[in-house]
Every structure is written in C-alpha cells, then in structure tokens.
Chain A
Amino acid sequence: MTLFERVFNGNDAVYGLTEQAIDAAIAQHGEEKAVSFPNTAYCLPCYYAVTGVKVTNLKELKEALGVVKTLMTREPRLNDAFMSGVATALCAEFIEALKYIDGATPYEEPLYGHLADAVIRELGVPLVTGDIPGVAVILGSAPTVEEGVALVKSYQAQGILVTLVGGICDQVAEAGMATGANVRVIPLGKDVTAVIHVVSVALRAALIFGNVTPGDAKTLMEYTMQRVPAFVNAFAPLDDVIVACGAGAIALGFPVITNETENIARVPKSLIVQEDVSKFNATSLEARDIKIKITNIDIPVAFASAFEGEIIRRGDMQVEFDGSRVDCAELVHTVDASEIEDHKITVVGPEVDDMELGSKNSIAYVVKVAGKNMQPDFEPVIERKFHNYINCIEGVYHTGQRDMQRIRISKNAFAAGFRLKHIGEVLYASVKNEFEAVVDKCEVIIYTDPAECTRIRHEVAIPTFNKRDDRLNNLTDESVDVYYSCILCQAFSPSHVCVVTPERLGLCGAVSWLDAKATNELDPNGPCQVITKERPIDERIGEYEDVNEAVKRLSQGALEDVSLYSIMEKPMTSCGCFECICGIEPFSNGVCIANREYAGMTPLGMTFPELASMTGGGVQTPGFMGHGKHFIASKKFMKAEGGIERIVWMPKELKEFVADRLNQTAKELYGIDNFTDMIGDETVATDPETLVEFLTEKGHPALGMDPMM
C-alpha cells in the first residue's frame, strides 16, 4: 500500500467516525445544541483558524463537516495527502468537541485535553522568545516504559515543551513522573484524536502571536512552519489513522519521526524513520532545526571575563603548551553535518595527569563545525575568538593564534579538576552560543599525541592557513558581488559610514570585508549591512548608485554620494578611529600619510592631531582621508588619482611596516623596484621644499604626474 493510500484510508476512517458521532449527537441533543471548548474565544479553534468560520452548534458542525469533505480529494498527489491530513485533524477536533457537550469534563487529571487560551498566551511568550526551544508531540506507546520516560526527560532537560498522546500518557504515569504545564510535560489524552489539542495550540498561537487572519490558510501554515518549532515522535506500530494525522502535521511544517519500519515511505526532512528511540531527540532537533542554548558550561573552574587578564606564572603552572617550541595548532574546520556528532569531545593522546609537572607539551585542537549558513570564510573569525574563550577560564592562560599559540594551566586549576577535555567544553559551548546563527553542530578533537600534533599542524592546519591567505590575497573588489557597510562608530561620529570592500578594509584597520561579512551573517540587523554594487556610475573613482543610496540611508541623509577610490572627488568620510590619514601635498603632486602613533610634523604643515581634527566627524574633506594601514599597499589606494605612485611621504616606522607589501604592489602596477626608497620620511624632510628636493633626487614618479587639483 502506498503512503497516499494509507493517508486516504485513515482519513476516510476518521471521517466516517466523525459523521456518525455528529449524527448521533444531533439525534440525542438536537441541531441547536451548543458546541464549544471551554475557555477559548476561538470557538472550534482549528476549524476557525483554517476557514475563518466560527462553529457554535451542532447544525453548524454538520455544515462544517461538509466543508471538510471538500478537502478530501483523492488524487495521488502530495497536496491531496496534505489536505486529507488537515481534514483528519479537523475531524479529530469535531470528535473532541463533542466530548465537551453540556459542559462535560471528559479529561481528568493528569490528562489535560483542551488547553485554555490563557495557557497559550502564557506558553506563547517563551515560545516566541526561544525560552521554550521546541514542542514535542509524542504519540503512541514507547517500546518500554524506560525508553519512553527517558525520551520525555531528554526533551524536558532541554526546555522543550512535551505533549503526550496515547499510551505514553500511561507510561509516564506508571513511572511516577511529575507532569503538568509547570514542568512542561503535558499529557493530553489517550485517544489519538486528543492530538488535536496541541494542533489547536499551534494554530491559536498563529492567530494570537502571528496576527494571522482566520481563514487565511496559506499564511497560517507558513506561520506554523516558520514560527512554531513543533515536531512529532510517533511510536510503532502506526495505523492508517495515525499516518493520516501525520500528514496533517507535515502539512503544518512539523516533521514526523518514527521507529516504524513496516510499510512506511521515507520523506526527507518530513517523515523520518529512526529505529533507535534513544536517538529520537537528536534526530528530531536536527530535522526541526532546533538549537538548544547552552547556559552552563560544565567545567570545574569559573568561566568569566573577569579572568581574561589573569597571567599564570611559571611557578604556578601545572603544564604548558607552546607552539613556538613544539608542534601546536588551533583550527576551525567546516565539514558536512553528517560527519559531526554534536557536543562530542575527544582527547587523542595523554591528558594533563600524564604530563610531567612544569613540562612543555604539544597540543592541537580542531573544532569541527557544520551549519546550513556556515561558510569557510567564517573559520578565521571563529578561530580568532579562541583566545578570549580560553583566557576566560579561571587558571588558564592563552596567547597567540594559529600554530603559534601558548597555553598554560595553573596548578590550582588542575587541582580543582580541570583537564584538557574542559577546554573542549569551553570551545564547544562558546562557539555554539556566540555563532549560533551559523553553527548548527560542533565537535572538538584535542590532540596531545606529539606525532598527531605534527601531522595536524603540517598536513592540515598549515595548508588551511595558506589557502586562507591565498583567498584573502586573491579577493578583489571586482571578484565579489557585494560590499558591506560598517556604522559601529556612529555613536560618536553620527553621519559616518564605512564602505568595506575586499581591497579597502575599514579605516580603523579592524574590520576586513570578511569580518564585515561574518558580522552581517551573525547579526543581520547589526552594524554591518550588505551593500550591492550593481549600478556603477563611474568605474574610475568607484562610484555606484546603490552604494550612494546605502550611504545616504545609513548616514540619515547627511551624505549624498561617495567614491571608493578617490580622495579628491567625493572621498569616503572618516569617523575618528582611522589608523592613518593621507593628505594632498600640492608641491609634489602627491600625498603624505601620517599614522596615529606619529607625533611629529608632516610636510603638509600639520601634525596627525591637526589632520585628524579636520578629517574626522563624518564630513567629506576633499584632499584628505582617513584609512587603515593595510589599505596603503592596496591596488585601490586612491586609484582614481593614479594609485600608490602618489605616495611621497610617510613616517619611517609606518614605511617600514608597509614596505614589503607596498613594494610588491608598486612592482606589479608600475614595475618599480624598492618603491619605498623613493618615499620621504621625517628623517628626510618635514617641509614641502626639502621633500621636493629629495623626491627630485630619487626621481619619484609623482613629480611627473598630472597635478591632483
């Protein structure tokens, strides 16, 4: 029998029962007899939500059944199966409603049956906030009482709301487990039709919290699909009625996980067979994309930013790991979800107990992550946080990164029971919490076996780092589709907007294009927003209609237009955080650059603070611009005015800092060797006349270029 047939059969069976029950009720009470659930303003909530029609008496109920019948089409198509599932659910609601005629109380403690509106409002708030991360609907009888109770408890421990229908109600009662809304375990009823009471919760939540108009079935189902994180665990054996109910659940966006293997078809993400009941929890969470917040990191010492500055001295140290002496590495590695067991932490090699007091050891930890929104570009962003995470552990000290990290564990921490696996716990919890938006699953492997560390470092980590560096070097403004805004500085520079591109990092030097991209993914409403660049106005100066629109919007109208590559025409504004300022030096046709650390005079006749006072504040100042140190060697550095060839002066310290990369760019762009030798510094000149003499002597190309103004 196909799944379609099973759904249709189950639906027909329930429909038949419903028709009989309504007819019997009419025969007994008459058509005018009122039907309703107690304590709800939504009459028969499911039927009302789907159709927009309120049913108040048996006559209307009978009419409603006619409407339900129209849903029960019988083509072997997905939609027919879904609609039959919905029809089954509505029939169940009618049957349940009949139980309440004349104010009857069909459910006795601990069973709940229908849930009042007030309960939904109360449960709805934590559902919307994510404090209740999901709703489990457990249907039928678990293979054993123990397995059933273990499953319920696993959800309960995660804060998930558990509703029970059928034999599982008796199973938890038999085990003596406390139930009730206050402990988030709600036994609804023993008949399969009682499942409608949780559907009713989901649909009323859509009406109350989603502002969905009753009768707007499409929006209703979108809401339940996107906003109600419910799923069904149905225990074998499944009869046709349960299969039909399952179709209804799937129509609302709730996946069904079952241990039934007989006569069942698997539907990816919707109908999932998991024979091992102990894995129902993990399978369900993954299928419904539910993430559990980690509120407590299980380690024997404290974890807080107050310990960030703690230094472990040699005498207080139990062991250390030192990447500058032995092979070490720290690495985030993106893999497919199927290759990860979430929260698995493995130590390969000796634990701290097996290491000599005060010894120097190898360590390499690989944090494997997987997620639908995860991109390898985020790996370094996550990795850079390891330093903070590990440093926040009481009695553990961390410096450096990549394969040059150094870690010390104090004697006190060791005595308190701290072991390497706890570093894994910290990394796991911190990554999952902070990078929730991109990391769905996370596993940590800590290697201390020296041979393994050597292998990881040289065969895995270093090639990865090289690949990343290559990617960074090959990222150009042309090779990407979007740029990012950064408005972190608007608190004190209200109209400033940084446009961050691969070749032009934020002027503070701290926000690269990849950082901005990650910030945007992690916090889509945060300071970094996507800026498209589809409508160029002038490629020479790097002006785009869409960039201008974004800048105007983000500066609240203070800035109309900016160019990305010119300091003379519509230059980008500066907030005040810039690492460097470049300014036009008219006598040499070039620009001088001063960095923040430089305290002396420049050939412009202005010091860094003087330049800063006229360049900052989010105002366009043609001829002057703030920027990051790394931008100096970029091929996009004042490209519109001729590029880095225009640089005629920099403080010596800055010149040395950028020399290698700047010389390389000059070689590539103009074929000039050792370009920095032609650039003046404070040991050569701090006034324009002497500078021009020097430049003439060196044959600096700027002298022969067109005037900048």
Chain B
Amino acid sequence: MALSGIQIFKMLPKKNCKECGCPTCMAFSMKVAQGALKIEQCPHVSSEALEALSEATAPPMKTIKVGTGEGEYTLGGETVLYRHEKTYVNKTRYAVSLCSCMDDATIDAKIAAIPAVDYERIGERMHVEMIYVNYGAEAGADKYLELVKKAVATGKTLVLGCDDVEVAKAALEIAKAVKPILNGANASNYEAMNALAKEADVVLGVSGANLDEIYDTVAALEKAGNKNLVIDATGASIKETYANAVQIRRAALKDQDRTFGYPTIVNTSKLAVKDKYMQEALVSLFTMKYGSIVVVDELGYAEALPLFGLRQNVFTDPQKPMKVEPGLYPLNGADENSICLTTVDFALTYFIVSGELERSGVPVNLIINDAGGLSVLTSWAAGKFSGTSISTFVKENIEGKVKSRKLIIPGKVAVLKGDLEAKLPGWEIIVAPLEAVQLVKFLKDMKEAGEL
C-alpha cells in the first residue's frame, strides 16, 4: 500500500532545510508520495527511515530506461491497471521488426522506409522509435552481425532478439553503446545472458515457454542481482500472449507481485506471421492491454496515423487534457477575408469543431486561444474563455492578419456577445448553435443568406 504524504512526513527530521529543493518538508513528503521525488533526495533522512520508506515507496513496477540520447525511452513505472484510476505514465513504444533471415534487398528496403514516417500531432513527434533485430539462426551469425550494424546506423533504439549467447555477445560488441535491449534470456541460458547484459550494461529481456517458467527465470535473475529487465510476453498463440501480458501486469499492480513488475515486449510479427492486417489489430490490442514495446513488421503511414493517435489518447493524463497550440488555423483554404470562428484549445473540442468546419467546406479562420485546455463551458466558468481573453488574443494576434471583422462564438457562451462587442469595436459577433454538429448547416445557411 502506498504511503500518504503525512506518513512520510512523520518519518522525516522536519528541518525545513530546503536542501532537497522543496520549500518545506511537507511539500517534499507530498512529492515523494506522488512518486515525483525519491526519498533518497532528503539529505537528512535517517537510515532506518530510509530503509522503511524505500521499501514502502518503491513502485510496484520498475521503470526501465533503454537507448541513449534522443532515443532514450522510459518503459514501465505504471501504478494503475486502468487509466481512469490515475494515469498511465510511460507510453507503449513500437519497434519495426528486421530479421537476418530476410534477404538483403528486403532489409535495405525496410530500413530505408523507416524514416518516412515522421510528423507532429498535438505537440508530439510521431515516428518509428525502435527496431527489433531478430536473429534468424539459419542465416548464420555473420549475417546477423551485419544486420545489427545496419540497425545501429539508423540511430533508432534497438531490441536485439537473440538467444544464442555467442552471437549475442558479438552483437552487443557492435551495439552496446546505443543501449539496446538484449532480448534473449530464457530458462536454459539466463546465467550466461545475465553476464553479457551486465557487462554491457544493457537491459535484459526474459522469455519462457509459459508464465511459470518466465516467473522462475525472472526470480533467478533478480536473485543474481539483475533488476534491469523486461519480459517478453509473446507466447505460442495470440490467446496465450494476451493472457501473459494481462496477468504479468495485473500480478505486479493489483497483487503486488514484484517479480512481474517489469515492462513487457509483445512481438506481433511472430503471432501473425506476414499478416499485416492482423498485426494492425494486435498492435492496437496490446497498446490497450499492457505491451510496453510492441513489435510489428510494418509501420508506414497507414499504420502510424491511427496507432499514434490511439497511443496519444490512451496515455494522456486524465487530469490534464490535451491542448492544441493557440493560433490562427485557416481551414478550407481560408484567406484574410474569410469569416473567423473561435473555440477553446481543448484538443477534443478542437478536433470536433475543425472536423465539422472541414465538412462544411466553407473557408473559415479558426481562432484558438489559450483556454487552459478545458471545454467551452468549463473554461468559461473558470474565467479562461472570457470576453477579455478572446478580445486580447484577437487584437494581438488576429487583427493584423485577417481583414474579416465577423467572429462566430460558441453557442454555449452566447452570454459573451455583449462583452465582446464592447471589447472588440468594429467586429460583428455572431452566436453559433449549441452543438458543433449543427455548424455545417449553420454555415451553409449563412452562406446562402450571403452573410459570409
């Protein structure tokens, strides 16, 4: 059971020394309780308190870091099974699968295709983050090492899928500087793999014939002092893999079984061999249910657009809604003479409103100002979508760019009309319908009436 801030506070020396960076011990305690700071950051904490607290405040699921530099990703560290209980913290990462069993031309083509997907969506860069480099034993060690070299050259973060200790050793020689995951430990080789991973200081991936075997291997590795692990949950079938992924996460978070408190890898390339569409279904399924890294054959735009959208939604903090950047968004080829319409910066509102505006086909300048990422009525009630905030934004950012002096405001804040008319001289303030879905007709009617 997690400790409350008060319980932590009681065990501190209460000096208010500020050396931890917090103004008071109470503030520090609350942040430790939230998991934002670690108890070790208190310079004055007694060793007994430290011991008692580190055990109690240790997260049920480890946070594992892989990769380096910009490609360093944090996996795991989750505290809840459902996002509404608090929030998910570290998003699923996707790896494109390469195998030394592929011919060179295929490999080169796949590597060449990886950088193609790279775009921004609501402030987040979307691209292929990882490559899964699979060892196809029949192609031999050299071919694999060649492939590892090529993969390192992409600059992407790597997962080395190789359970042959010797080959893995050679591969690590090539790749260890980029901090890949060595996904190769199992019941029969874990001691040797552990030595390799430790020596190269990389994360070790553990797999097994079934959950019990995985459990025992993880326990043995922990006993050998390695807690820098991930678990490969991929089983013989889709059904088994799903059962693995769910039960591993559930054991860690709900039943406090720390042995399973590690991030997981799910390899859909193995579950749905060469079945692109099934892989699409599975990558979505395992994003929802507990894959920390999901491996796929292909991640072109067709896959990326929905997948990254899904991930961005699922991993958003329920307490902090997604926001779009304030600014002027011309839609349907709007120019400086097109009518203006404003709404809040809450991402969902923005998407719904811009979607309806696009459907209307009417050129509109959509104006978004900072409304705290809240919905229309909420931000209005909080004073963040007010006559003052809208008029200030329009004067500072819009009047110089747009000649139209007609501004449509959301129907739910019709009450702002008078205030806006007073604060925006020369502008005609028009009240839109209550729901976004009525915008298409509203704009078409305005157009027919020649009011645009």
Contact = CB atoms under 8 A, between A and B. Distances in A.
Interface of A: 305-311, 391, 492, 494-495, 558, 568, 576, 583-587, 601, 603-606, 610, 613-614, 616-617, 619, 621-624, 687-689, 709
Contact of B4 (A391, A605, A623): A623
Interface residues of B, number: 36
A592 to B, nearest CB: 10
A359 to B, nearest CB: 22
A167 to B, nearest CB: 51
B445 interface: no
Given A306-B431, A309-B431, A584 B27 contact: no
Interface string B163-181: 0000000000000000000
A621 B417 contact: no
B411 A305 contact: yes
Contact of B26 (A306, A492, A576, A584): A584
Interface of B: 4-6, 9-10, 14, 16, 22-28, 30, 33-34, 84-86, 318-319, 321, 411, 413-422, 431, 434
**Can you list the 6 inter-chain pairs with the closest CB atoms, starting with the nearest?**
A605-B24, A311-B418, A605-B27, A309-B417, A605-B23, A309-B415
A309 B24 contact: no
Contacts of B30: 606, 614, 624
Contact of B415 (A308, A586, A687): A308
A604 B414 contact: no
A576 B5 contact: no
Contacts of B16: 587, 605, 687-689
Contacts of A619: 86
Contacts of B416: 309
B24 A623 contact: no
A309 B414 contact: yes
Contacts of B413: 309
A616 B6 CA distance: 16
A601 B4 contact: no
Given A308-B414, A621-B4, A576 B27 contact: no
Given A310-B417, A584-B6, A613-B319, 4 more contacts: A306-B417, A391-B415, A585-B26, A605-B22
Contact of B414 (A306, A492, A623, A689): A306
Nearest to B6: A623
22 contacts: A305-B414, A306-B431, A308-B417, A309-B418, A311-B418, A311-B422, A492-B321, A558-B85, A583-B26, A586-B14, A605-B16, A605-B22, A605-B24, A605-B26, A606-B27, A614-B30, A616-B319, A617-B318, A621-B4, A623-B5, A687-B16, A689-B16
A689 B25 CA distance: 12
A30 B349 CA distance: 75
A586 B26 contact: yes
Contacts of B5: 614, 621, 623-624
Given A309-B419, A601-B23, A605-B27, A586 B414 contact: no
A492 B318 contact: yes
A622 B417 CA distance: 44
A688 B418 CA distance: 46
B27 A610 contact: yes
A613 B317 CA distance: 12
Contacts of B418: 309-311
A310 B420 CA distance: 10
A305 B431 CA distance: 9
B27 A305 contact: no
B6 A709 contact: yes
B414 A709 contact: no
Given A305-B411, A585-B26, A606-B27, A622 B6 contact: yes
Given A604-B27, A687-B23, A617 B319 contact: yes
Contacts of B319: 492, 576, 613, 616-617
Contacts of A603: 24
Contacts of B26: 583-586, 604-606
Contacts of B420: 309
Contacts of B421: 311
A464 B85 CA distance: 47
Contacts of A584: 6, 26
